[in-house]
Structures are given as structure tokens and as C-alpha cells.
Structure 1
Amino acid sequence: MKKILILGGTGFLGRHVCEKLTRLQWRVSVPTRRESNARDIQMLPALEVVTANVHDEATLTRLVAGHDAVVNLVAILHGSQEAFDKAHVQLPQKLARACAATGVQRVIHVSAIGADTRNPNGAPSMYMRSKGHGEVALHQPGLALTVLRPSVIFGVGDSFLNMFVQLQKIFPVMPLAGSHALFQPVWVEDVAQAIVHCLQDAHTSATVGHTFEACGPDIFTLKQLVQMAGHFAGINQGQGRPVIPLPDSLGRLQASLMALVPGEPLMSRDNLASMTVPNIASGNLPGLEALGITPASLEAVGPTYLGPTSGGWGLRSHLTLKRKTAGRF
């Protein structure tokens, strides 16, 4: 029975990965600062939740020891330069040292479309620069590393399309910064399955040492995605709210004002900077098909969880959705 340590296992993608691995009857360890964060995965068999701070290097090294592989899913979308550096650069650096100290070689690292290991500082945003530096940190001798670079991930419990649905329930129109930005959204189930596929491979497999672009089959503008979310959710009799594209200057102002609102911002200026680069596959790297996965389309999956009669947000709703949609994709 394999033992897998999942950093970020209580997050959106992490919950789906945990569910798949426990169905394989593998032992899964998920560290979290607060046990309450793990309420959606605590019921999974052979899964252990450990209260721990993975940013403490001594603690991380103890956690890594005794596992067959580590999956790093830790990521943030908003924050200061220091916050991005801590989550996306320093943690991979600590993970590389922890693996070297404990003899653990297999690492699956989830990065992001647009990350560049050749010129990380050339990226337009703090987020993208930190993602590139994070990949560089893990390219170390002795590590059997596989990197996945997904586009925006959708599915039950996502904070992307669901956010646009909630906003359209409140506001009669949708002023939108970055409306022409391009995305190639990918289903969370497909990304989770890609991680499992890589973990099932031996150290000498074709996935080791490679980077895969995890994207869906279709490319959309941000405006189209907002409109589709409203349509799927049945808002305004299925038409969604009118979307008003904002010029760059007003978009930056909107993002700056949103950053002042207490709590997690809906959009930041750094997000806008990231969107100046298309969030789509480059075509220079293998995709999900190289892992035996035919990616599902947003138009097939979106209505099943965004629709007005869909079940909810958590893993339990996800399991219900899987039963309803079995064999459709």
C-alpha cells in the first residue's frame, strides 16, 4: 500500500485527489493548520489528518519521512510579494530539502499555465513569477519530479465560476475587467486523475522529469465564461446578466477598489497582470491526452453543478454528482 503526503490536501483540488487516492486504498496524509479545514475529507478511509504547519521546515521534514511520494498543491491567488514567495517559492525549496534529507524521491508539483522556468522574472505578475521560481526550486538532482500546469480549474466547489454565479444573483449588470483575457478551463476531476496517473507510474516512467499542460478542450474569453456561468445557473431566465467590458484604466481601478474590501478579494491588480498573458496551452508541452485523459468540456460539466437544482459545494455533493454523471464523459 502506497503512502502519499498531500500538501494542500484540504483545498479545492486536494479534496478530489484525496478521494481518488483513498479509493485506490492508498494511505494518505494531509497536514493542515486547523483540523476544521479538513471536514470534507475526514470521512475518507485510510486518510490521516495531521495538525501541522508545513511552512516550518523541521515539521515538514518529519511529515515527508516515511512516504512514497509527495503531492504539492499549495497555492494562493492573492497577496503580497512576501506571501507569494512564501507559498510558491520558499515552500518548494523546503520540500526539496526535506525530500533530500529523508530519501523521498517522488514529487508531483501543481504549478500554473504560463509558469516559465527559463525566465521566471519575465512573467507579468507576482503570481506567475513566483510559480516559475517554485518550479525551479524543485528541479533538483535526486528528485523524480513531475509538474502539472493547469489553466483555471472548474468543478463542484470551485471559487471561479461559482463566484460569477453569486455576483450575478446580486447585481443587475456585470462590469468586467480583463473581459478579453483567454482561458482554457479544465475540470477538477481531470486534473486529479492526472495526478493519480503520475503517482501510479514507476520512477522510470515517461512522466518523471516532464511538465504537462492540464487544459480543457475549449478556449473562452473571461466575458464568455461569465456569460456561461449565468446561463448554466438559470439567472435572468437563463440569459445571465449583461456583461460590460471595462477599459484597462477602469479595470485597474476596479481591481484596486476590490482589494480594499475585507476578506479574500474577488480580483486584484496582480490578477489583471496575470491575465495579460493567455491562460491557455502553449502547444509546446504534452497535455492531458499524453496521460490517457480525454478532458471534459465546460459545457458538458458546468450545468451539472451550477444549475439551479444542483446539489451544493462540498465533497459529498461531488460524490453525488459523480454518480449522476457516471459514463457521460
Structure 2
Amino acid sequence: MKKILILGGTGFVGRHVCEKLTQLQWRVTVPTRHEASARHIQMLPALDVMQADVHDEAALTRLVAGHDAVVNLIAILHGSQEAFQRTHVQLPEKLARACAATGVQRLVHVSALGADMRNPDVTPSLYLRSKGHGEVALHEAALALTVLRPSVMFGADDKFLNTFAHLQKIFPVIPLAASHALFQPVWVEDVASAIVYCLQDAHAHATVGQTFEACGPGVFTLRQLVELAGRMSGINEGRGRPVIPLPAALGRLQALLMELAPGEPLMSRDNLDSMSLPNIASGNLPGLDALGITPAALEAVAPTYLGPLSGGWGLRSHLTLKRKTAGRF
């Protein structure tokens, strides 16, 4: 039985990966600072939740020991330069040292579409620059490494399309910064399947040392995605709310005001900087098809969970998605 350590296993992608790995009857370890965060996965068979701070290098080294492979899913979308550095660069550096100290070689690392390990500092945002430097740190460690770079991910419990839909439930119009930004959204189940594929021994030769771009089949502007979320969720009798594109200066002001609001911002100025780079496949790297996965279309999956804004993972969306994932990894 394989034993896999998943950093970030309580998050959006991690929960799907944990479910797939336990279906394979592999042993899974998920560290978390707060055990309540693991309530969605703690009942899965052969899964151990460990209370730990993975940023503590000594604790991380103890966690890594005895595992066959590690999956790193830990990331933040908002924060200061120091926060991005700590999460996306220093943690991979600590993880590389922990793997070296314990003899664990296999690592699957989830980065981001638009990251560039060859020239990380030329990318337009703190987020993308830190993601690129994190990849550099892991490649320099000479691990049996596979990197996945997903586009923005959607799924029944996402904070992406669900957020756009809920905003349209509240507001009569949606003023939108970076409305022409391009995305190639990918279903979270397909990303989870890609991770599991890479962990299987039969595919190690083809995936070790490789970087894969994980994208869906369709390219959309941000405005199109907001409009689709409104229509699919039945807002305004299925028409959605009017979307008002903002000029660049007003968009940046909107992002600044969102940063100053309490709680996690819906958008930041660094997000706008990231969106200045099209979030679509470059065509220079293999995609999900190279991992035996035909990516699902957003138009086929999103209506199954946006529905009447039931507030999350309802019975209808759960059953529909289970049928769609039958036979996937």
C-alpha cells in the first residue's frame, strides 16, 4: 500500500485528491493546523489527519518521513510579498530539504499557469513570481519531481463561479475590472485525476521531470465567465445581471478598496497584475491529454452545481458529478 503525504489536503483541490487516493486504498496523511478544517475528509478510510504546522521545518521533516511520495497543494492567492515568499518559495525550499533528509524522492507540486521557472522575475505579479521561484527551488533539489500548472479551477465547492453567481444574487449590476482577461478554466476533478495519475508507478517514467499545463477545453474572458455564472444559476430569470467593464484606473481603485475591506478580498491589485497575462495554455508544454485525461467542459459541469444557488454541494450536483467521474482516477 502506497503512503502519500498531502500538504494542503483540506483545501479545494486536496479534498478531491484525498477521495481519489483512498479509493485506490492508499494510505493518506493530511497535516493541518486546525483539525476542524479536515471535517470534509476525516471520515475517509485509510486517511490520517495530523495537527501540525508545515512551515515548521522540523515538524515538516517528521511528517515527510516514512511516505512514498508528497503532494504539495499549499498556496495563497492574496497577501504581501512576504506572505507569498513564505508560502510559495520558503515552504518548497523546506520541503526539498525535508525530502533530502528523509530519503523521500517523489514529489508532485501544483504551481500555477503563467509561472515561469526560467525567468520568474519577468512575470507581472507577486503571485506568479513567487510561484516561479518555488518551482526553481524544487528543481534545484534534484527530486523525482512533477509540476502541474493549472488554470483557474471550477467545481461544486469553488470560490470562483459560485462567487460570481452569489454577487449577482445581491447586486443589480456587476462592475468588473479586467473584464477582457482570458482564462481557460479547468475542472477540479480533472486536476485531481492528473495528480493521482502522476503518483502511479506505471506513469513515473513519463511524468518525472515534466511540467504539465492543466487547462479545460474552452477559453473565456472574465466577463463571459461572470455572465455564464449568472445565467447558469438562474439569476434574473436566467439572464444574469448586466456586467459593466471598468476602465483600468477604476478597476485598480476597485481592487484597492476590496483589499481594504475586512476579510479575504474578492480581488486585489496583484490579481489584476496576474490577469494582465492570459491565463491560457502556452502550447509549449504537454497538457491533460498527455496524462490520459480528456478535460471536461465548463458548460457541461457548472450547471450541475450552480443550479438555484442552493449554497454548496447539493444532492443533485453530488450525484451528477459522481456519474461524470465514474471511471476517472
TM-score bracket, shorter-length normalisation: over 0.9
Q: Alpha-carbon deviation of 1:205?
A: 1.0
Q: How does 1:205-284 map to 2 (within 5 A)?
A: 205-284=205-284
- The residue type equivalent to 2:215 in the other structure is C
Change (3 A) 1:95 1:299: same
SS in 2 for 1:162: helix
Answer whether contact 2:189 2:325 (CA < 8 A) is retained.
Answer: no
Which residue of structure 2 lines up, in the alignment, with residue 118 of structure 1? 118
Q: Alpha-carbon deviation of 1:321?
A: 3.7
SS in 1 for 2:114: coil
Answer whether contact 1:127 1:270 (CA < 8 A) is retained.
Answer: yes
Answer whether contact 1:304 1:310 (CA < 8 A) is retained.
Answer: no
1:49-87 deviations in Å (ceiling 9; x for gaps): 000000000000000000000000000000000000011
Answer whether contact 1:311 1:317 (CA < 8 A) is retained.
Answer: no
1:253-286 deviations in Å (ceiling 9; x for gaps): 0000000110000000000000000000000000
Which residue of structure 2 lines up, in the alignment, with residue 162 of structure 1? 162
Change (3 A) 1:321 1:52: farther
Normalised to the residue count of structure 1, the TM-score between the two structures is 0.96
SS in 2 for 1:283: coil
Which residue of structure 1 lines up, in the alignment, with residue 290 of structure 2? 290
- The whole-number CA distance in structure 2 between the counterparts of 1:130 and 1:80 is 11
Which residue of structure 1 lines up, in the alignment, with residue 322 of structure 2? 323
Answer whether contact 2:96 2:141 (CA < 8 A) is retained.
Answer: no
Change (3 A) 1:317 1:6: farther
Answer whether contact 2:148 2:214 (CA < 8 A) is retained.
Answer: yes
1:16 aligned to 2:20? no
Change (3 A) 1:327 1:95: closer
SS in 2 for 1:206: helix
Normalised to the residue count of structure 2, the TM-score between the two structures is 0.96
Q: Indicate the RMSD between aligned Cα atoms, in angstroms.
A: 1.7
Which residue of structure 2 lines up, in the alignment, with residue 91 of structure 1? 91
% identical equivalent positions:
76
Q: Alpha-carbon deviation of 1:156?
A: 1.0
- The whole-number CA distance in structure 2 between the counterparts of 1:119 and 1:325 is 39
1:145 aligned to 2:145? yes
1:153-198 deviations in Å (ceiling 9; x for gaps): 0001101111111100000000000000000000000000000000
- The residue type equivalent to 1:320 in the other structure is L
Q: Alpha-carbon deviation of 1:96?
A: 0.3
Answer whether contact 1:42 1:48 (CA < 8 A) is retained.
Answer: yes
- The whole-number CA distance in structure 2 between the counterparts of 1:92 and 1:304 is 36
- The whole-number CA distance in structure 1 between the counterparts of 2:322 and 2:118 is 43
Q: How does 1:57-72 map to 2 (within 5 A)?
A: 57-72=57-72
